[in-house]
Amino acid sequence: MKAYYISMLPEISLVLGCLIMMLTAHFRRTATPKTYFTITKIVIFLSMILSIIFYNQSFFPAYIKNTPYTTASKVLMDIFALVSLYLGCKWFLNKNRSSLSFCLSATLSVLLLSLSISAQNLLVMFGCLNIAFLLNLLFIRLYPAEEESAPIIKRYIIGFILMNIFCISGLYLMHANGISFDFAAAKKAYAQITNPSFKEYLSVVLIIIAIFYMLGIAPFHFWFANVQSVSILPVSMYLSFIPPVAYLSILINVLYNVFYPLYDTLHLFVTGCAVLSVLLGAVGANGENNLKKMFSYVTLYNLGAVLLCIADFNAKGIFTGFVCLIVYLLALFGIYTVFYSFKRKGEYLTEISSLSGMSNIIPYASASFLIFLVSLLGTPPMLGFLGKLSIINYLIVQGSYVFISLLLMATLLMAYAFLNIIKTIYFDASEGGFDRVDKGVYICLTINLLLVIISILNPSYLLHDAEPLLTTVL
């Protein structure tokens, strides 16, 4: 029994962090934005360390189970959360606004997503996921432009309700078919069905749709781009990294540990959504002038590419998807770091047209932005080329030449969108100055660039050495 309580320490630390922030807000009316960020970073870091220590210990193992796979997913999520919080603090300090709501929501979100990753019961998993997804409303409502955010919040709530209808309908059909909500019991029950009925397939598809909606996979992706367009920069950055890592981990876990006996038929649906995400992501990026909304489509494109790799559920495909995910996250994180240098008269710039002539004023940030754009595109010699090469090699081995053609066509469309940004930064006349870039932004950029350079000079870790480790974890 003591082992159960001890294994709860990662979650307890996050709960205590929320309580400390509320007590701080009650007793210190003059608490600076940095105060809440400091508390949040400490408790998330503590939770991450404790998760590593108790990687195979679980409380209520029938409902919540920690494994090397869930621990690796949570550690990756926590790392990006910590760096996102470090940069997010810059925005609140610049605006001199309270960060309590943001930090409290972020801590609760990490807690709920961590529980969802370790969940071994569909009811527990979706219960935590729904609350975490609803918490996004608090993020969206942080200092919005009312005329822009009100209709998006309304659509977000409608989409949340529809997503829950899909989810509840799928769970109800599972129950009606006599399938348990426990992962292991459900997988065993599906394996014993020799001829699955339409209702059994429908229940699984409805549940997968609910996860796809939260992840932002096409054709259920529009909410993400709309939310990004009205969110403040720290929220946009947070929503681009932390929830997607968690949702993707949960998707793999559910497909493999619950619905895998039916996957031969489901494979076509998952692959179709992956291809649609790649194409719509590339097309959508070309139609946007808002940087955050544009890169939400870039996220869709890359998540589609990752999903295309893992859709076959073989060891090579999952490893290729992992490489692609890490490369994409590093490049996109560099992009969002540079966003913190797009500031004029205290206001953070969000339109591509406002970056005219930036290279002449802040050359280091401009050069970094160019490197990360090229990496996202998958052009040699940048790190992104490793991810793109891994995908193409995998698809060649699978004989999926049609998918290779679609991926290359989407890459060309993405290149056109990126060239428009490069032209604006390097060749258009400057329309005004930029504020001095914070030293912390330069530090994060330098560290990110060093990681990219090390990976370029020694790619063997990602391409070879990581495969045995990933196989062990999965």
User: Nearest-CA neighbor of 340 among 83, 135, 147?
Assistant: 83
Instruction: Flag whether pLDDT at 386 surpasses 80.
Output: no
Burial of 194 from C-beta contacts in 10 A (0-12 / 13-18 / 19+): exposed
Given this model, what pLDDT does residue 228 score? 87
* Bigger pLDDT: 2 vs 285: 285
pLDDT of the residue at 473: 47
Q: Cα separation of 419 and 355, whole Å?
A: 13
At residue 2, the pLDDT reads: 61
**What average pLDDT does the chain have?**
85
Q: How far from each other are the two terminal CA atoms of the chain, in whole angstroms?
A: 28
Determine the Cα angle at 297 with ends 292 and 303, to 5°.
Answer: 120
- 112 — pLDDT class (breaks 50, 70, 90): very high
Q: Tell me the C-alpha distance between 140 and 427, whole Å.
A: 35
pLDDT at 408 over 50: yes
Q: Which residues contact 114 (CB under 8 A, 6 or more apart)?
A: 10, 11, 14, 47, 51, 74, 77, 246
CA distance 291 to 306: 22
Count the Cβ atoms, other than its own, within 10 Å of residue 324: 27
Please compute the mean of the pLDDT values over residues 66-76 and round it to a whole number: 89
Evaluate the CA torsion angle 391, 396, 398, 404 in order and state its sign. Answer: positive
290 φ, ψ to 5°?
-80, 120
pLDDT tier, 362 (very low <50, low <70, confident <90, very high otherwise): confident
Contact 182, 125 (CB under 8 A): no
Determine the Cα–Cα distance for residues 344 and 333; give it in Å rounded to an integer.
Answer: 21
Question: What is the pLDDT at residue 455?
Answer: 67
In the chain, % helix, strand, coil (3-state, to 5) comes to 80, 0, 20
**Model confidence band, residue 474 (pLDDT cutoffs 50, 70, 90):** low
Return the number of other C-beta atoms located less than 10 Å from residue 336's C-beta: 23
Mean pLDDT of all residues in 95-103: 86
For 438, list phi and psi in degrees, rounded to 5: -65, 140
Residue 124 has pLDDT above 90, yes or no: yes
Across 201-218, average pLDDT? 92
Per-residue b or e along 461-471, where b marks 16 or more CB atoms closer than 10 Å to that residue's CB: ebbeebbeebe
Q: How confident is the model at residue 472 (pLDDT cuts 50, 70, 90)?
A: very low
Give yes or no for residue 145 having a pLDDT over 60: no
**CA 454-460-465 angle, 5° bins:** 120
Cβ–Cβ under 8 Å, residues 108 and 89: no
- At residue 164, the pLDDT reads 92
Residue 125, pLDDT above cutoff 90: yes
Burial level of 267, CB count in 10 A (0-12/13-18/19+)? Answer: middle
Average pLDDT over residues 105-121: 93
The confidence score (pLDDT) of residue 297 equals 92
Once rounded to an integer, what is the mean pLDDT over residues 439-453? 82
Of the ranges 56-70, 97-111, 242-256, which one carries the lowest mean pLDDT score?
56-70
Name the band, by pLDDT with cuts 50, 70 and 90, for residue 60: confident
* Averaged pLDDT for residues 243-251: 92
φ, ψ at 394 (rounded to 5°): -65, -45
Predicted local confidence at residue 357, as pLDDT? 81
The tokens describing 188, both together, are: 């065993």
Query: Where do the H-state alpha helices sit in 287-314?
Result: 291-310
Residues 439-452 have a mean pLDDT of 83
Q: Are 300 and 281 in contact (CB under 8 A)?
A: yes
Q: How far apart are CA 48 and CA 71, in angstroms?
A: 9
What local confidence, expressed as pLDDT, does residue 48 receive? 93
Contacts of 198 (CB under 8 A, 6+ apart): none
Mean pLDDT, residues 388-400 taken together: 82
Q: Which pLDDT does position 374 carry in this prediction? A: 86
pLDDT digits (tens, 9 = 90+) for 270-326: 999 999 999 999 998 887 888 888 999 999 999 999 998 888 888 788 888 888 888
Alpha carbon distance 230, 260 (integer Å): 38
Q: Are strands 343-344 and 347-348 parallel, antiparallel or unpaired?
A: antiparallel
Share of the chain above pLDDT 70, in %: 93
pLDDT at 111 over 50: yes
Instruction: Give me the residue spans of the domains in the chain.
Output: 287-474
The CA distance from 160 to 447, in Å, is 38
Between CA 110 and CA 43 the distance in angstroms is 11
Provide mean pLDDT across the span 220-245: 89
Which of the four pLDDT bands, split at 50, 70 and 90, describes residue 34? confident
